[in-house]
Structure 1
Amino acid sequence: MVHELDPLGRVGDSCIVGAGFYADKNVAVTGTGNGDVFVKKQTCVRVAQ
């Protein structure tokens, strides 16, 4: 489903390792929210550390 306010071809943060998700052999983290902040801050990898 395409949201009418999102530009075509936009890639969200969910598929970016470290931003939308992160996993290693000890922990796995996923997140949702303000994608721009998740990408800039690499939120999920920081939480995992």
Structure 2
Amino acid sequence: MTKGDKVTFPFGKKTMEGIVEQVNQKTVYIKADFPKDKGKMVVRKIKDVK
């Protein structure tokens, strides 16, 4: 997993797609487009991201 990869992550009861912005040891920063907030940064654990 590197910067710029498209990934899916859990959000509520559904999954969403986003682009990896930063990868740390255990966490990933993902930029995702939500209906009312375009380009929102979301932090998830690496094990939760596919």
TM-score normalized with structure 2 length? 0.24
Higher normalized helix content (fraction of residues): 1
TM-score normalized with structure 1 length? 0.24
Question: Which protein, 1 or 2, shows the higher relative CO under an 8 Å CA cutoff with sep ≥ 6?
Answer: 1
Tell which structure's C-alpha radius of gyration is larger.
1
Higher normalized strand content (fraction of residues): 2
